[in-house]
Amino acid sequence: QNWGAGEFDRVRQARNTGFLFAFGWGVLMMGVIWTGSGQIATIFGTDPDLTRELVRYLWIMPVRYALYGVLNVSEDTLNAVGRPMLAAGRRSFTCSLCAHRWPSLACGGDR
């Protein structure tokens, strides 16, 4: 709506507000998960090896939550301004590389 009306400053302001909120929410959730990682891990079992690996996983994965939220806002903005293919390309890259490859490497995986 703002884009079509030529209100580009409002589009930028809305995008930046979205970035700030998404990043802030991601950081908040990261803190909550980090703080409770030990208790969360025990939900899945009491084996020390399992708990240790789950805590490790819960310290790695939340790091991307804030960045993922910012990426979602970016993609929504691109869709709104008529650039859906660029948004789709960014999503494909993120899903194929970032969401699957990096956590595997960080957890000691070989794939």
Inside any domain, residue 36? yes
Q: Supply the pLDDT for residue 8.
A: 78
Whether residue 82 is contained in a domain is answered as yes
What is the domain extent for residue 82? Answer: 8-106
- Among the ranges given (1-15, 33-47, 89-103), the one the predictor scored with the smallest mean pLDDT: 89-103
Q: Is residue 1 part of a domain?
A: no
Whether the CB-CB separation of 67 and 74 falls below 8 Å is answered with no
Give CA–CA dist 62/64, Å, rounded: 5
- The rounded distance, in Å, linking the Cα atoms of 78 and 104 is 29
Cα 52 from Cα 36, distance rounded (Å) = 13
Tell me the per-residue pLDDT of 53-102, one tens digit each, with 9 for 90 and over: 999 989 888 888 888 888 888 888 888 888 888 888 877 777 766 656 55
Task: Count other Cβ atoms within 10 Å, centred on residue 78.
Answer: 19
- Does any domain span residue 42? yes
Segment holding 51, helix H or strand E: helix 48-60
- Contact status, residue 35 vs residue 105, Cβ threshold 8 Å: no
Q: Is the pLDDT of residue 9 over 90?
A: no
Q: Taking the model in full, what pTM does it have?
A: 0.67
Domain-located, residue 81: yes
Q: How many domains does the chain have?
A: 1
